[in-house]
Amino acid sequence: MAFVPPPISSSLPPQPNPVTPSGDRPLESPSPTAQEIQALFNRIAPVYDRLNQQLSWGLHGIWKHMAIKWVNPQPGDTCLDVCCGSGDLALLLGEAVGAAGQVHGVDFAAEQLAIAAQRAQAHHPPLAITWHLGDALHLPFEDDRFDGATLAYGLRNVVDIPRCLGELRRVLRPGAKVAILDLHRPGNSLLRQFQSWYLAQQVVPIAQDLGLREEYAYLAPSLDRFPTGREQVALAQAAGLRSAKHYPIAGGMMGVLVAQK
């Protein structure tokens, strides 16, 4: 029987037409637009999970579990995963909050959300997750709603980081925590060189074999533009979050920003 994914609620402001795969300009160019990013994640959706697994040697699952632990969701909680993509963190949150809790996953790439919805539907026991086609910069929720929030590999992709952090703060209830996992440029020059080599010589060629060279070549420039851990802490504080701390992972090639409302 054909699978019919559950409906996804949409709160997206009207989006201009996304760029075509050939694009108006290369994705490696400085600061791609939100529409270019949205189109990119829609295009890579069919291979996104497989490539994540392969390119991180399976380690992204461990890092995502770590992010969940920092938020410490409890049975019955209501939690949010922003830029949820194909749903890894939302599913983990769903398992943690259980049948008495609720999870909301937000992403602006419909193709990613369709995969997330299929994965949730195939999960046993069933998980109470609602998927929203929405914008991380205009979260479709009232203030002070969530007991915890996560965001993995998405902050680097939003076009307005302070606004995204401000939205997270707004929708968290006072005292609730957010954990933001992402790539990071390590301070150590050897690790930095290794990371650059890995992105250019391993990630891009593997993606190229799948016809997605351009889509994965965006990683290095997006990382170069991304604030350092210290800068992320300052941005979180400026957004009104407290107890902000950036924890380096994998020698600083990855990191988790943890903060509280």
Ligand X SMILES: C[S@@+](CC[C@H](N)C(=O)[O-])C[C@H]1O[C@@H](n2cnc3c(N)ncnc32)[C@H](O)[C@@H]1O
Report the interface residues with ligand X, using CB under 6 A.
34, 37-38, 41, 83-85, 88-89, 106-109, 112, 135-137, 152-154, 157-158
Nearer to ligand X, 69 or 242 (CB): 69
Cβ-closest residue to ligand X?
A: 85
Query: For residue 236, how many other CB atoms are within 10 A of its CB?
Result: 27
**Contact between residue 245 and residue 233 where contact means Cβ atoms under 8 Å apart:** yes
Nearer to ligand X, 97 or 188 (CB): 97
What's the closest the beta carbon of residue 146 comes to ligand X, in angstroms? 16
Sheet holding 242-249, edge to edge: 9-10, 129-133, 102-107, 78-82, 146-152, 172-183, 254-260, 242-249
What's the closest the beta carbon of residue 60 comes to ligand X, in angstroms? 7
What's the closest the beta carbon of residue 253 comes to ligand X, in angstroms? 15
What's the closest the beta carbon of residue 189 comes to ligand X, in angstroms? 26
Contacts of 13 (CB under 8 A, 6+ apart): 135, 138
Alpha helix stretches (DSSP H) within the chain: 34-55, 59-71, 88-97, 110-122, 161-171, 189-197, 204-209, 213-217, 219-225, 229-238
Nearer to ligand X, 136 or 188 (CB): 136
Nearer to ligand X, 172 or 219 (CB): 219
Q: DSSP letter for 30, please.
A: S
Nearer to ligand X, 172 or 180 (CB): 180
Q: Which residue has the tokens 């604030």?
A: 227
Query: What distance in Å separates the CA atoms of residue 49 and residue 116, rounded to the nearest whole number?
Result: 10
What's the closest the beta carbon of residue 51 comes to ligand X, in angstroms? 10
What's the closest the beta carbon of residue 142 comes to ligand X, in angstroms? 18
Q: Report the candidate in 82, 52, 70 with the shortest Cα–Cα distance to residue 169.
A: 82
Nearer to ligand X, 61 or 126 (CB): 61
